[in-house]
Every structure is written in structure tokens, then in C-alpha cells.
């Protein structure tokens, strides 16, 4: 089964509104990352939050991590039409010794549409 | 230079063809990845190279053959593909460390198998 599940699957908002996307995962992680993908293009890294961090900010992005609930959220404030994209969470699973397995596992993604 | 380049952008091939996808980065990253992505789905990891050695193969069929000729280049050789292999193929690179760090993705190659 998928390590990362995201909700909602799709989100449609007006410009200026905030967008919140959620990600849940099943096993212990080393870190959790968020990526954006514009239609049919490569992914762009947005933010990385480590397992010992609870919140992180980058510009209009705010990410939270709750390891007790195995969940994370991505908040985009004051959204713009250019934020229209698919957003994926990706987890780096924890290995014994505090390292990661050499891979990321991506969630199903949230399709965000921001209307001008 | 924080760019990962992939060629070609689009590829159409028949089931009997042999073709190769190419990926290049000049960020000094020593980990490189191939992903396959179907429409409206997340990327699925295929292969990971670390220090030019194959470290992860996610049980990918042998009709996909990766190659890492040097620290900047990653190839994916394709032979006898099936129509269901049509997808966006993404290459990525990252630093190698105790943790999986951010990955830099190329724009992808859109592959159509007829």
C-alpha cells in the first residue's frame, strides 16, 4: 500500500485564498518533503522537514509535521493563479542507525487549481 | 548550474525498437534516479545510482536497462517495450548523505510506445 496518502485529491480556490493539503504516512520517517509539479513537467522541491521538526516556513509556504499522528500539512497562503499545479508529499523512510533507505516514496498528490 | 537536463523531450517508438533516454547534471550530485510517471499518478521509482553504482532496482522489467557512465550522466536503454510502458520518464539527482535530501528533477521524456 502507498506510504503517503494525500487529501484532498483536488482543491479549487480563488486567488488570494489559502490552500491546505494534508499527507498521512504509515511508517517511521527520516524526513518528509513536498514537491510541486506543473502539468506534464518535472517536479520542483518546495520544502523538507525533518522528523524532529514540527513546523517550517518558506515564503508563502508553511509545513507542519506531527509524527505522533504520522501526518503533515502544506499551507499555501495568499494563493496565486501560478500556484496551480499538483502537489506531492514524499517520505524518506527511517532505517536503523538513523539513516534513510536510499529513496523517496511519493503520495498520490493533490491537484490545486487557483482561479484568477 | 542547478539544472537537470533530459533528452529527448518526446519519444515515439515501436515495440521492436531500441532507444535510449539521457539525463545530465552538473551539480556534483552523486545520486541519480529514474522514475516512471503515468498520468494523474505519483512518480514511481525505478532505479537509484549512488556513486555510479546501481544501489536500488525496484524490480523493473529487463526491457529497461539503466547505465551510469560517469558522475554526470545517466542513461536508460529501452528495448522491446510494451504499450503500457508509455509514460513520462523523469530523471533526478541529489547529494548523497545519511538522509535522503532534496531531489532535483529534469523536465522528463514523454514516451509513447506504439
Give tens-digit pLDDT for B71-91: 999 999 999 999 999 999 999
- A-chain CB neighbours of B55 within 8 Å are 102
- B-chain CB neighbours of A39 within 8 Å are none
The stretch B92-112 carries a mean pLDDT of: 90
Instruction: Please name which of B110, B80, B94, B62 lies closest in space to residue A103, comparing C-alpha atoms.
Output: B94
The helices-and-strands tally (H runs, E runs) of chain A is 0, 11
**A107·B42 Cβ contact <8 A:** yes
pLDDT at B58: 87
Residues A92 and A33 sit within 8 Å (Cβ to Cβ): yes
pLDDT at A101: 57
pLDDT at A99: 55
- A-chain CB neighbours of B105 within 8 Å are 35, 42-44
pLDDT at A29: 87
- A-chain CB neighbours of B4 within 8 Å are 42
Q: What is the mean pLDDT of each run of 10 residues along chain A (116 residues)?
A: 76 98 91 93 94 96 97 98 97 66 86 96
CA distance B83 to B90: 18
CA distance A64 to B37: 27
Cis peptide before B6 (omega within 30 of 0): no
pLDDT at A1: 41
pLDDT tens digits, residue range B45-63? 999 998 999 988 888 999 9
HSE of B81, CA atoms in CB hemisphere, 13 A: 24
CA distance B95 to A56: 21
pLDDT at B80: 94
**B107·A31 Cβ contact <8 A:** no
Interface test with chain A among B10, B43, B48, B91, by most A beta carbons within 10 Å: B43
Of B41, B50, B106, the CB nearest to A42: B106
Amino acid at each position: 500500500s502507498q506510504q503517503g496518502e494525500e487529501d484532498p485529491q483536488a482543491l479549487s480556490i480563488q486567488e488570494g485564498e489559502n490552500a491546505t493539503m494534508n499527507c498521512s504516512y504509515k511508517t517511521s520517517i527520516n524526513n518528509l518533503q513536498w514537491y510541486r509539479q506543473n502539468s506534464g513537467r518535472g517536479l520542483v522541491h518546495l520544502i523538507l522537514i525533518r522528523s524532529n521538526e514540527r513546523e517550517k516556513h518558506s515564503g508563502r509556504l508553511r509545513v507542519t509535521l506531527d509524527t505522533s499522528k504520522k501526518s503533515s500539512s502544506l499551507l499555501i497562503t495568499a494563493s496565486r493563479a501560478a500556484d496551480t499545479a499538483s502537489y506531492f508529499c514524499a517520505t524518506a523512510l527511517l532505517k536503523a542507525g538513523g539513516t534513510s533507505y536510499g529513496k523517496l516514496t511519493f503520495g498520490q498528490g493533490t491537484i490545486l487549481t487557483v482561479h484568477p | 548550474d542547478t539544472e537537470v537536463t533530459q533528452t529527448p523531450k518526446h519519444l515515439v517508438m515501436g515495440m521492436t525498437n531500441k532507444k535510449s533516454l539521457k539525463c545530465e547534471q552538473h551539480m556534483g550530485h552523486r545520486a541519480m534516479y529514474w522514475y516512471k510517471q503515468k498520468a494523474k499518478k505519483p512518480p514511481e521509482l525505478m532505479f537509484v545510482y549512488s556513486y555510479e553504482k546501481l544501489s536500488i532496482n525496484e524490480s523493473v522489467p529487463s526491457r529497461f536497462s539503466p547505465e551510469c557512465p560517469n558522475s554526470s550522466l545517466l542513461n536508460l536503454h529501452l528495448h522491446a517495450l510494451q504499450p503500457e510502458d508509455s509514460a513520462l520518464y523523469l530523471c533526478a539527482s541529489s547529494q548523497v548523505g545519511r538522509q535522503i535530501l532534496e531531489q532535483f528533477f529534469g523536465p522528463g521524456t514523454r514516451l509513447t510506445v506504439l
